[in-house]
Structure 1
Amino acid sequence: MPNKSRSQVLIVNLLGRRITFMTVPDIVDAIHTACIDRKQITVAHFNVHSFNLSMQIPWYYNFLQSAEIAHCDSVGILKAAAWMGLKLPLQYRASYTLLMPELLEHCNEQGFSVFLLGAKPQHSDAALERLQAQYPKMVIAAHHGYFDTQDTYQNNEAIDRINQVKPNILIVGMGMPIQENWIRTNRDRLNVNVLMVGGAAIDRLAGVVPDCPTFLSNIGLEWLYRLCREPKRLAARYLIGNLAFFLQIALAKSHSHSLEVQLVESVDKFKKNLIEESAQEKKL
């Protein structure tokens, strides 16, 4: 697929967290390259909640650091970067609300296969049915996420189902940090090109969870929209979590810490490095 984007990929160190600032078209382009070259990459993301979890859970931090792509998923991360000295346009906020439709349309055009792992059985089935109707050229399969990941038999059953399909892209939507732990534990056993951390993506594809209105997400208030819809479940995450995130950034700012922009490069060069690094890992 020819790359028509003129944007740059910025790999930025924010409080020791490696964030890959990429636009949605460039993420789709990188995923395309991994599928065509038959390499395996992990696509994770940073929002305020995942940033906070990386401060609390060592293995979670390592997972995000090792992901080939850990893109910016929220305006909160963009605002933190701007406060620390790197102001980027809104196009570098690659939320799943924006990413998923473009990715699925691309998979439909290219004939790439997708596997959904996660959500309740009825929601998984609904997402599968809707996508099959909307994207008839795309091979798609699904398995619900309500199984015991610690049970060898149940976990092997899910992995066997995925490997039977041999999808190009596996979207794992089990919620943080369960989905990240499942990927890091089972990645080497999966015959897929791209492993994507999905969050509530499958529920959204099923039509169970509505997307936040664009005007709210563009000003960084998606968290408030979600909080109003699910106050009991999300109160601690957003009310306490957002404050904790703000305090961490404020503390770093007060101590004159700055962002480290480790690399600014073209998308083509980023893709080349991505595939080379993936090939090196397979040899180890």
Structure 2
Amino acid sequence: MTIPSIVEAVQRACIEGNKIIVANYNIHSFNLSMQLPWYYDFLQSVEIANCDSVGILKAIAYMGLDLPLDYRASYTLLMPKILESCNQHRFSVFFLGAKPEYLQIALERLKLKYPNACFAGHHGYFDKEDPKANQAVIEQINQVKPNILVVGMGMPIQESWVQKHRSSLEVNAIMLGGAIIDRMAGIVSDCPDLISNMGLEWLYRLTREPKRLAARYLLGNPAFALHIALAMSNADALRVELMPGIDG
């Protein structure tokens, strides 16, 4: 889905009072879906799982379907459009995640930039295995009754939390946002468009957070490439097996 179509789907859910979940596929989430069966099932169960990576588009092209760059819906590009829609329609947004001080900075910035929308939030540093702590967070969200809930606690923690509690959340759209709160607070910088369009955003982020992201990219990217190569090899072998025999 392109960014305009995702924004339209979220907007429609808010206006019509439905509930949808917007997850995303990048190389890291693809690898997680191969390692964790529950994660794969979660991505298959959501209403939207958009492409969040040039690497995914390149893999799709390698497998035979060449899609334009318009189908890359990274949060750097998507979130401003979502927030503009919220400002236009006076929607409310609840952010769940990040450190308390970073969350507060992000909320203050958003309130200044989008004065017609309503913003609230809760930090992500609570015990997600504690039923009482989870219930307190859910009650706070439901008390606000936001149109959109953005959960930014990193993969796969955020997906696990949403999978467990989505039925209890009184919201119209749940969006999995990763480090989006840190970005809006200015703690994590956005990748320049030129680098991102070349498919090198992973390298940009690796140079800024090498300790946290080294394993994800230096091991994850080759693992992803291997998955795609094996898939193509298996597909070619299957096509050969299904070819009709030729009589001598």
**Which bracket does the TM-score occupy, shorter chain normalised?**
over 0.9
Q: TM-score of the superposition, structure 2-length normalised?
A: 0.94
The aligned residue for residue 35 of structure 1 is 14
The aligned residue for residue 146 of structure 1 is 125
Are 1:89 and 2:68 an aligned pair? yes
Query: Please, which of 120, 133, 153 is the counterpart of residue 112 of structure 2?
Result: 133
The aligned residue for residue 206 of structure 1 is 185
The aligned residue for residue 171 of structure 2 is 192
Residue by residue, what CA displacement relative to the aligned partner does 1:157-212 show, whole Å, maximum 9, x if unpaired? Answer: 11111000000000000000000000000001000000110100111111111000
RMSD: 1.0
Q: Where in structure 1 do 4 or more consecutive aligned residues deviate above 6 Å?
A: none
Correspondence 1:1-284 to 2 at 5 A:
22-256=1-235
SS in 2 for 1:100: helix
Which of the two has greater helix per residue? 2
**Residue type matched to 2:61 in 1?**
A
SS in 1 for 2:235: coil
SS in 2 for 1:196: strand
Higher-RCO chain (CA-CA 8 Å, sequence separation at least 6): 1
Give the superposition deviation at 1:257: 5.5
Residue by residue, what CA displacement relative to the aligned partner does 1:22-52 show, whole Å, maximum 9, x if unpaired? Answer: 1101100000111111011100000000000
Give the superposition deviation at 1:140: 0.8
2-structure distance, mates of 1:68, 1:256: 28
Give the superposition deviation at 1:138: 0.2
2-structure distance, mates of 1:120, 1:153: 20
Q: TM-score of the superposition, structure 1-length normalised?
A: 0.82
**Residue type matched to 2:96 in 1?**
L
- Share of identical aligned residues, percent? 65
Give the superposition deviation at 1:153: 1.7
Give the superposition deviation at 1:255: 2.4
2-structure distance, mates of 1:156, 1:255: 46
Larger Rg: 2
Give the superposition deviation at 1:251: 1.2
Number of aligned residues: 237
Which of the two has greater strand per residue? 1
Structure 1: 5+ residue stretches without partners = 1-21, 259-284
